[in-house]
Every structure is written in C-alpha cells, then in structure tokens.
Structure 1
Amino acid sequence: MAYRDPSQVVDPIETHINYTIDGLIELLNVRRAQLLGQVHNMREDERAAEIALQGMTTQLTEAQAYLQGHLKENPLQSMQERITKEMEDKLRDLRNNIPVESVLKWQCDTRELEICISRLGDIMQEPVDLPKYSTFQTSTVATGKKGSGPGELNSPHGVAIHEATNQIFVADYSNDRIEIFSDTGEYLNQLGVRQLNGPWGMAIHEENVYVSCCVDHTINQFTLTDMSLVRKIGSVGSNNGQFNFPRQLTTDPIGHVFIADRGNDRISVHDTDLNHLRNITHQSMTKPFDVKVSRDHVYILCPYNKPCMHVLTLEGHKLHSLITSGLGMDVLCPLFFCLDSLNNFVISDEDSHTIRVFSPEGNLLHKIGTDGHQQGMLCYPKGIAITPNGRLVSVSRNENYGLQIFS
C-alpha cells in the first residue's frame, strides 16, 4: 500500500462544510445586493414622491391664489358673459337663417328675447349707493328759490336724473319749462322754454328726455344733443296715443316709455320714438300717478287706492298690492316715488310733508322731513329721485327753496 501524506488527505466532512459556507456567503452576497437594490429603489421612490408633493403643493398654492383672486370679483361675471354670448350667438344664427319675408314677424316675436339680453347687461352693474336715510336730519343743498328767473322754480313737480352726468332735471310746472341743475345744486340750463304747457313728469333714457304735460295732455321728446324738441304726441282722449291728464313716466332698460295715464286708469307703453305699443290695465288700478320699472316688475302708485302701490309683471299681470294710504295710515297723499338699489320705495307724501321709505314688503323703514319752509323741511313735497352717487333729491313748494338734496 502506498504511503499517503496526511496533509494531502481530503476530509469529506471539511469539504462539505467549506462548500456549505461558500454557498451561504454567495447567498448572503446575493441577498445583500437585493436589499441594497430595494433600498435604492425606495430612496428613488421617496425622491419621486417628494418631487410630486412639491409639484402638488405648488399647484395648490397657485390654485388658491387664482381662486382668491376670482372670489374678489363678482361671482356672476363669468356666468353673465357666457350666457350673454350664447344668447347673442343664437340670435345671430336665427337672423342668418330667417327668410326675408319673415324678418318683420321674427323681430316682433323675439322682442322679449331682446329685452332679456338687455336685462342681462344690468345684472353686473355696480349698485347705486344707498342714501343714508337714518342720518338725513337736514338737506346739504337747498336752491331754486321761488321765481321765474334762471335757476328759480315755481311749483316744481317731477324730477329725473341723467345717470351719465348726475344732472338733475326739474319740471318747473308754473314756468312751463325744465330747469337743469348739477348734483351739488348749481344751475346749469333750461329746456323746453315756450314749448311746454304744464310739465308734470319726466324720464331720461340716454340722450332722450321725455316730458308729460297735463294741461294739454301731451308727451314731449327732447334730445340733449342740441336741447331741441324732437316730437310731441297726444291730445285729450282715451284712444291709443291719446291721454287724459298724464302724470309721471319712466323708461325701461331698452328705452320703452311707461306713462301713468291718470284719467284713463292705465299705463300707456311706447317705444323710444313714442309709437304706442300696448296698455297695462287692471281693475284695482285706478288713477295712477307714478310708475317705475325694474328688470322684472312694474310698480304703479295710485294715491287714491288702499293699498296704493301695485306690483305687476312686465306683461301687466298683477302680483300684489302694498303700503296703506289714507287718514291715520302710513301715508296720506303719495304722488311721486322712486326705487333705490334694494328696491325700497322712497315716497314723497304731500299731505304729511314728509318722505317715507318702505321696504319691498311694504314695511316703513324711515321718515324724513317735517312741515316748514326752512332748509331740511318739506312743504307739500312732489318729485323725488336718487342720483347714481347716492344723493336723495326732492322738490317741494317751500317758499325759500324749491329743490333740496340730501346726502
């Protein structure tokens, strides 16, 4: 038997142990590599998530700033612009597709749509500054002493405001003219001298001034472009285009003229050129003295009715009546009124020598003035109006002042 060096002898147990250890080391290295890869991926995911979070935070910050900026604006702005554009586009499409022979009929049938578009333009208008009724202890301006000279008044009646300039137009009844003042009381000009016969009421739309004359039962249209008389319509009677002691008048947003035709118990509606369109009547509406129009309603003041204020739709359907008049009631003899931007009724009450402010529901809110001839006092107040900058204008038969401005 050959000799074997013990150092050269391979121990199978040792070989197995070494093989096993080498396998474990290899497995540990593989696992180590796997774990290091997972850690690397997790760190990459964390970085990606952090970057995404930063992006979302930036987007949220920008969205918040955008939202806050738009919340400061009127929330109806975008809706109004979108609806107006859609309606104008539809109108344009309709016009392009209508046969020529049907144009006149189509224009008549779509008048209400035209009115709606016009009203949309008013939705976003800045509201009129509300007069501070509760602080009106006396007027800030008193002018127009009794007389017939420039800037003087003799039995003033209706009042109208030119919204673009805040100028005040006063129907100088006994002097048969219109006197024009600034909103701070300075005399500016005259209108209709030797052309009017007992001017009672007025309305202004853009550059057109409409004046009712109850002595000769006419409606007169002037233009402020050159202060000239454009046309005169009417005579005493009950036919369309005739009047029986017409009183106050007003215009809607598109320039239609609403006339309180007192003796005919109706509101006569005309276009901007005073062509007759229709009449508004109701069995409970008698002897109307004043009329106003909002976007949705017609308000008619009938001083001899109890209640005296009637609210109708634009089509003339009566909705309700409010504000009781008569001896011992809220008002005695209301002949003129106006609306503020909250649709409160501001009424000049002739027999109580006061101005009364009522909520749209008919609740008395404020009372202004007392009987007398000093500044701040009212003697048989007549026409009343509110300027766009929130001044309350009133005329009366005060011996010292015909026109007073409360602000």
Structure 2
Amino acid sequence: MVGNHEITVSVSKKPITGSPVTIRVIPQKGLICKFGRKGSGEGDLDDAWGVMVTRDGNIRVCDRNNERLQTFTLNGKYQSTTTFSNISTTVSPDWSTVSEDGTIFTSDGTVGQVIGHDEFGRVLRCFGKGVISYCFGIAMSPMDGRVYVVDNKGHCIHIYDQDGNYCKSFGCEGQGQGQLCKPVGIAIDGEGKAFVSDRHNHRIQVFDAEGQYLYSFGSEGSGDNQMRYPSGIALDCDGNVYVCDKGNNRVMKYESDGKFIGRIDSEDNTVDDPRSICVTDDRPLGYVVTNSKGKNIQVFSQ
C-alpha cells in the first residue's frame, strides 16, 4: 500500500531497539516525472541551471536566459514566476539558496555578483561585484548562515555574511589538494563542511568551514567511483552526497566520505547533460531533482 507505514518488530512480545520505524512505500522507483521544455512561456525553460527545494516542498528553478525564477510542484505543475525588481540591470540567475528568514540569495554569473531578494523578486542587496569573476554554485552554511559562492573563472570559493560583507576566499587554480579548476557546485553539511564539485579535475573536494582542505574523492573515468566534469552537487539530511556526473550523463550517490552507494538514474531512465541537483527532506529517502540540458527537470525516487 502506497504511503507511510509504522512497523514494529518484537521478540518475546518486546519491541527490539529501533522499533517502531516508519517506512514510505512509493508507487514506483526511478524516474517519477519529467517536465519543462525550451521556450519563454509559462513553465518553459531556457538555459536553466540551479534547482532548489523551497520551504513548502516545491522546486524553484533558475531560468537563466529568461531572466527569472520559476516554481513548480514536485510532480511538475507550474506554480509561479519570480522576476527581479528594484534593480537597474538585468539578472541572469544561475543558482539560488535561501536563509532562515526567507531571504533568497541568487548568483548572477553574467555580472559576477550575488543578489539578495525576497520571494517576489524585490532586490534587497547586491554584493561580490569586482571580487567574483564568474559565480556559479551558491550555498548557505547551516552552522553560521554565511554564504559560500563558487567562482568558476577564479577557481576559488568566496565567503560572505548575509549582509554582503566579504569574509574570506579559499582555493586557487591547480590540480593539487585544495586547488580547483573550473569548480561549479557546492553544498554544505550540518558540521559546516563544504563539498565542491571540482569540475575540470573530475573530483569532489571537501573543506572545513574555513576552507581548509580535508579530503577528496573521485577521479576521471566512468566507473562507480569515477566521474567526468561533475557539475551540481547536493546533500541529503543524512549527509549523503549526490553528484551530477555531467560528462557521463548520470547521477551518482556517495556516503559523505566518498564511498559509492549507487546510481540514482538508470540505463532505462537516464539524465542528459545533468547540470544541477537537489534532494527533498523526505525520510528515509528524499526525492532527487535534476536539471537536464537546461530545459527539462527530472524527478527520481530512490
């Protein structure tokens, strides 16, 4: 029966440790739905990048060439469009994250800045211009609320507070530990560790909250523990890591230390040129949402 069910396991009429447990039965595993098409109309997408889960469980998409954010339900029903106001320049949104008070921070790669705005698109503040060469992924630390911004052309990560004050940067161009080459995505866990998709080095690098190198996983290839040009990256509420393996047209799941768990998509339901990814907070396994080729959104159950 589809739905949430509570199960108790007992020995000699006494529940064992861990009982009861709630399990979720889903109608199918793998690809649940696919929506979006190239265009500029309501629900259409054009060179879309970042996807994120909103507070009410919907999916917000950075619709870059259409200079807007669009929100959909998890099954693909169009909800709303957010366009930017109270700003003199056009905005080309790449990635978004949201703070505890509901402020949305969106990276604008064309200008090289971060825009803080409300859910209606009213711009509250802009920062990073002149420091950020080309911003892509953006994430907020659950530890202290600081905003981490991926500088793709600067081969580094910049950290700001939510008022837009510059804190520090870490990373530089190279192939060594702590060095980056064209990074794209970033995600931060509950301990403040930053997981960065080091795209042209074909690996994921992990840093502490201050940008000190901790460890990395992945290498160039198509095996389980390999990747080609990783793009978007996300974490679930248990700390597992989800990677858009862009060059191999697949989505992979790892434990936080880099141990391979499994592939989210399949040979029957593949992703084409996956760019970004997010995971819902459903327990025990969240739904995985990916952006495919900048014009389609695909939702997978695990």
TM-score range, shorter chain: 0.7 to 0.9
User: Match of 2:38?
Assistant: 146
Q: Which secondary structure state, in structure 1, belongs to the residue aligned with residue 153 of structure 2?
A: helix
Change (3 A) 1:361 1:131: farther
CA distance in 1, matches of 2:61, 2:145: 20
User: Match of 1:367?
Assistant: 263
Deviation of 1:130 after TM superposition, in Å, equals 10
Q: Conserved in 2, the CA contact under 8 Å of 1:371 and 1:378? A: no
CA distance in 2, matches of 1:205, 1:248: 15
Structure 1 residue ranges without an equivalent (≥5) = 1-67, 74-128
Q: Conserved in 2, the CA contact under 8 Å of 1:330 and 1:364? A: no
Q: Conserved in 2, the CA contact under 8 Å of 1:309 and 1:323? A: yes
Deviation of 1:193 after TM superposition, in Å, equals 4.8
Deviation of 1:261 after TM superposition, in Å, equals 1.2
* Structure richer in helix, relative to its length: 1
CA distance in 2, matches of 1:182, 1:173: 19
Deviation of 1:295 after TM superposition, in Å, equals 2.6
Deviation of 1:152 after TM superposition, in Å, equals 0.9
CA distance in 1, matches of 2:293, 2:151: 24
CA distance in 1, matches of 2:24, 2:262: 13
How many residues of Structure 1 are paired with residues of Structure 2 in the alignment?
A: 268
CA distance in 1, matches of 2:222, 2:288: 26
Deviation of 1:281 after TM superposition, in Å, equals 2.7
User: Match of 2:279?
Assistant: 386
Change (3 A) 1:245 1:130: farther
Change (3 A) 1:193 1:314: closer
Runs of 4+ that moved beyond 4 A: 129-132, 193-196, 326-329
CA distance in 2, matches of 1:397, 1:153: 10
CA distance in 1, matches of 2:90, 2:106: 9
Deviation of 1:265 after TM superposition, in Å, equals 2.2
Q: Conserved in 2, the CA contact under 8 Å of 1:217 and 1:245? A: yes
Q: Which secondary structure state, in structure 2, belongs to the residue aligned with residue 247 of structure 1?
A: strand
Indicate the structure whose relative CO is greater, using CA pairs within 8 Å and at least 6 residues apart.
Answer: 2
Q: Conserved in 2, the CA contact under 8 Å of 1:326 and 1:333? A: no
Instruction: String of CA shifts for 1:360-387, please: whole Å, max 9, x gaps.
Output: 2323221233689xxx432211110001
Identity of aligned residues (%): 21
Q: Conserved in 2, the CA contact under 8 Å of 1:214 and 1:245? A: yes
Does 1:270 pair with 2:166? no
Instruction: String of CA shifts for 1:227-249, please: whole Å, max 9, x gaps.
Output: 311122233x4xxxx21111100
Does 1:302 pair with 2:198? yes
Which structure has the bigger radius of gyration? 1
Does 1:405 pair with 2:299? yes
Change (3 A) 1:304 1:326: farther
What TM-score, normalized by structure 1, do the two folds share? 0.60
Deviation of 1:327 after TM superposition, in Å, equals 6.5
Does 1:155 pair with 2:21? no
Q: Which secondary structure state, in structure 1, belongs to the residue aligned with residue 275 of structure 2?
A: coil
Q: Conserved in 1, the CA contact under 8 Å of 2:128 and 2:164? A: no
